[in-house]
């Protein structure tokens, strides 16, 4: 039989490494720090069940086709909600997406032709790399430090490469947990006025702060309307509902809507109506508070355990989000460490796949939201054994 003739865009694409590792960690006796999963006991099951029942019975329309832009009351709610992080938006400047992942995909679909350049942080969110590769983008990278991406390097890269898109996760970044400082947010917003580059500000973790500090979005400083802000209810309510949103300039959103028409017509109406009711009835903020407390505690438990690991491993110190990032001593291979770790029944994600430029085999990401505090302690004990076996 002759070979199936795949599209060039997917010919050399590998599956998402994390998804492959997650398959390995499905065994029940493995303690996994690998995924970016919320804690299953954080899901507001009873409230959502009640709301789902009422919404289906009272609003028969939500079982009908809806508009591609999204459920109007939810768009209105979001336009008001993002004021909390300094974004002024009308309802027309909000589009509902099937997770913020779809937001990244729709912007790339609208803007990236084969060979166009996208600037990303190094390291950055693995699935964003995967999406941009699917659209056959070229990559340029900007590095950063404990305050997030270097604005000088970002601007120099933008000036040199004239990218169509810059992609940043400024708050509690995936994978590093690092947050872009206030000064740098202002500077990034300002620099966009001098370049024809759209910034994708991907922010699924911003509300998961374990301190009282709430930083404004970069979009709050977007005088040139060049920022598309992506938000998500995945980490705040439930990822299975697949609900996110994009806030941006209407003509760019319109292109995304045209792309979405062909992708899925519209985001699941029931999920939209349920999350809207969840917010309207005042459940969202108390729920966020309770997750912040729970995850803040888990972070502390994991950080205490890190003190028992060899001192030559450098760890980031996030104040929110879901991840801690580690740098093993140069020359160590986190992929090999993972083999030793799986033998001890604990898993994490090696860092290499978060770098478009590859390398960095000595880096790794730990998730602290999914396991219980007791399992975090036990998993970190196992990781210590794996490190001893590796060395
Ligand atoms: C940085 C980043 N962007 C987007 C997503 C996708 O989130 P969603 O479930 O909203 O599609 C994730 C999920 O882990 C993420 O870490």
Cα 343 to Cα 203, 334, 346, distances in angstroms? 35, 14, 8
CA distance 18 to 15: 9
Average pLDDT for 190-212: 97
Looking at residue 195, what is its pLDDT? 97
Would you say how long the chain is, in residues? 391
* pLDDT tens profile 133-146: 999 999 999 999 99
20, pLDDT greater than 80: no
Looking at residue 305, what is its pLDDT? 98
Residue 7 Rama label (left phi>0; alpha psi -120 to 50; beta): beta
28, pLDDT greater than 90: no
Cβ atoms of residues 311 and 165 within 8 Å: no
Looking at residue 22, what is its pLDDT? 73
Distance in Å, CA 63 to ligand 1 centroid:
26
Distance in Å, CA 303 to ligand 1 centroid:
24
Distance in Å, CA 312 to ligand 1 centroid:
31
Cβ atoms of residues 309 and 391 within 8 Å: no
Distance in Å, CA 101 to ligand 1 centroid:
5
Say whether the peptide bond before residue 175 is cis (omega within 30 degrees of 0).
Answer: yes
Band of the pLDDT at 78, cuts 50, 70, 90? very high
Spatial CB neighbours of 286, under 8 Å, sequence gap ≥ 6: none
Looking at residue 26, what is its pLDDT? 75
Band of the pLDDT at 58, cuts 50, 70, 90? very high
Spatial CB neighbours of 384, under 8 Å, sequence gap ≥ 6: 308, 309
Question: Any idea which residue has 């790339």 for tokens?
Answer: 108
170, pLDDT greater than 90: yes
Phi, psi of 107 (to 5 degrees): -65, -45
Q: Which of 263, 182, 277, 165 is nearest to 221 (CA)?
A: 182
Report the share of the chain in percent with pLDDT over 90: 90
CA distance 35 to 322: 10
Q: Which two tokens stand for residue 388?
A: 């001893």
Looking at residue 11, what is its pLDDT? 77
Query: Would the pTM of this model clear 0.85, i.e. be above it?
Result: yes
Q: Which of ligand 1's atoms lies nearest the C-alpha of 102?
A: 11
Average pLDDT for 166-172: 98
Tell the CATH topology of 8-43+285-390. 3.90.1150
Q: Which of ligand 1's atoms lies nearest the C-alpha of 173?
A: 1
Residue 177 Rama label (left phi>0; alpha psi -120 to 50; beta): left
CATH, domain range 45-280: 3.40.640.10
Q: Nearest C-alpha to atom 5 of ligand 1 is from which residue?
A: 101
DSSP string, 36-78: -PPPGGGS-HHHHHHHHHHHHHH-GGGGS---TT--HHHHHHH
Q: Which of 387, 386, 342, 333 is nearest to 362 (CA)?
A: 333
Pocket of ligand 1 (CB under 6 A): 36, 99-101, 125, 169, 174, 202, 204, 232, 234, 239, 244
| Strand pairing category for 144-145 and 117-121 | unpaired
Distance in Å, CA 205 to ligand 1 centroid:
9
User: Domain residue spans in the chain?
Assistant: 8-43+285-390, 45-280
Band of the pLDDT at 24, cuts 50, 70, 90? confident
CA distance 230 to 224: 17
Q: Which of 310, 223, 267 is nearest to 78 (CA)?
A: 267
Band of the pLDDT at 27, cuts 50, 70, 90? confident
* pLDDT tens profile 31-54: 999 988 898 889 999 999 999 999
Looking at residue 367, what is its pLDDT? 97
Average pLDDT for 87-111: 98
What is the Rg, in whole angstroms, of the alpha carbon atoms belonging to the chain? 21
15, pLDDT greater than 80: no
130, pLDDT greater than 80: yes
């Amino acid at each position: 039989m002759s070979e199936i003739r795949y599209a060039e865009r997917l010919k050399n694409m590998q599956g998402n490494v994390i998804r492959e590792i997650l398959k390995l960690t499905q065994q029940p006796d493995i303690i996994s720090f690998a995924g970016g999963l919320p804690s299953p006991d954080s899901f507001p099951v009873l409230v959502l069940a009640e709301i789902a029942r009422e919404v289906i019975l009272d609003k028969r329309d939500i079982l009908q086709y809806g508009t591609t832009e999204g459920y109007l009351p939810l768009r209105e709610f979001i336009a008001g909600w993002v004021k909390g992080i300094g974004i002024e938006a009308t309802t027309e400047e909000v589009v509902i997406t099937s997770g913020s992942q779809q937001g990244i995909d729709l912007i790339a679909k609208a803007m990236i032709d084969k060979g166009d350049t996208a600037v990303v942080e190094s390291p950055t969110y693995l699935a964003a790399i995967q999406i941009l590769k699917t659209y056959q983008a070229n990559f340029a990278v900007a590095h950063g430090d404990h305050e997030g991406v270097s604005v000088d390097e970002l601007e120099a890269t933008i000036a040199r490469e004239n990218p169509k898109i810059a992609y940043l996760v400024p708050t509690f970044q995936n994978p590093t947990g690092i947050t872009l400082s206030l000064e740098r947010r202002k500077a990034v917003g300002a620099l966009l006025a001098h370049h024809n580059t759209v910034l994708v500000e991907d922010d699924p973790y911003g509300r998961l702060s374990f301190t009282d500090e709430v930083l404004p979005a970069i979009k709050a400083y977007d005088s040139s309307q060049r920022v598309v802000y992506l938000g998500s209810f995945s980490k705040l309510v439930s990822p299975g509902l697949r609900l996110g949103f994009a806030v941006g300039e209407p003509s760019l959103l319109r292109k995304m809507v045209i792309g979405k028409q062909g992708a899925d017509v519209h985001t699941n109406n029931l999920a939209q109506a349920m999350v809207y009711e969840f917010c309207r009835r005042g459940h969202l903020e108390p729920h966020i508070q309770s997750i912040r407390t729970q995850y803040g505690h888990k972070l502390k438990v994991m950080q205490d355990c890190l003190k028992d690991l060899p001192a030559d491993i450098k760890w980031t110190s996030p104040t929110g989000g879901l991840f801690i990032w580690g740098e093993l001593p140069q020359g160590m291979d986190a992929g090999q460490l993972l083999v030793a770790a799986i033998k001890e029944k604990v898993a994490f994600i090696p860092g290499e796949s978060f770098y478009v430029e590859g390398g960095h085999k000595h880096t790794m990401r730990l998730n602290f939201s999914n396991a219980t505090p007791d399992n975090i302690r036990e998993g970190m004990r196992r990781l210590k054994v794996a490190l001893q076996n590796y060395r």
